[in-house]
Amino acid sequence: MHISPPTHLRTFDLQSGELNVVIETPKGSRNKFDYDEEQGVFKLGGVLPVGASFPFDFGFAPSTLGEDGDPLDVLVLMDEPAFAGCLVPSRLLGAIEAEQTERDGHSERNDRLIAVASNYRQHQNLSSLNDLNPTLMDEIEHFFASYNLIKGKQFKTMARSGPERALQLIDAGQLLFDKRNKRKSSGRKA
């Protein structure tokens, strides 16, 4: 039996329609984990400074790609932290549409999807970013800005969008993923 890597799982569950999110870094962790597709393992990608930690579980939407060449990032609100590699069925709330400037001055889109775990009892009534406390959204944006600043990058929020726009970003990410895989299978460089 062939087992697909986490990056190639279905983006949405066929039965429930929920977004599948593969957790890379659990809530409260100073360690940033990344899935290494080539080696098929989760590896340590960095460490946040003392006093900084991930505010919620952070992972990716499988079978998607962003402009940065990585799967689309997803921050998942839930009661307790999961673990690296855990598949969390989630409901999209929206997106922080952002531009990230690298150390060399090159800028590209690097959006952050925001979702709530389907089993998150505290916030079963959430359906969009507008349902979240504005202070919480400010803190989430601040986390991403400061996290990138530590790495010598700039993270600039361009917009906060609802679930419909987040779905459009996922659709575009799925197209990029499919395009890359067709190139790989034909032997051309992606």
Q: Where are the domains of the chain?
A: 6-186
pLDDT at 4: 82
129 pLDDT higher than 50: yes
Q: Is the pTM of this model over 0.85?
A: yes
**Do 100 and 174 meet the contact criterion of CB atoms below 8 Å apart?**
no
pLDDT tens readout for residues 147-188: 999 889 999 999 999 999 999 999 999 999 999 988 777 665
Q: Is the model's pLDDT at 114 over the cut of 60?
A: yes
Instruction: Give the pLDDT of residue 164.
Output: 97
Q: What is the mean pLDDT of residues 117-141?
A: 92
- Mean pLDDT over 119-126 rounds to 84
* pLDDT at residue 3 greater than cutoff 80: no
The pLDDT tens digits of the residues spanning 84-111 come to 999 999 999 999 999 999 889 899 999 9
pLDDT-based confidence at 190, cuts 50/70/90?
very low
Average pLDDT (1-12) is: 87
Whether residue 189 is predicted with pLDDT greater than 70 in this model: the reply is: no
Mean pLDDT over residues 30-43, rounded?
A: 95
What fold characterizes domain 6-186? Inorganic Pyrophosphatase (3.90.80)
Asked if residue 54 has pLDDT above 80, the reply is: yes
Q: Are 118 and 16 in contact (CB under 8 A)?
A: yes
Nearest to 166 by CA among 29, 21, 44: 21
Q: Which two tokens stand for residue 85?
A: 């590699």
Question: How distant, in Å, are the alpha carbons of 20, 74, 135, 164 from that of 94?
Answer: 15, 10, 16, 7
pLDDT of 124 reads 82
The predicted pLDDT at position 26 comes to: 98
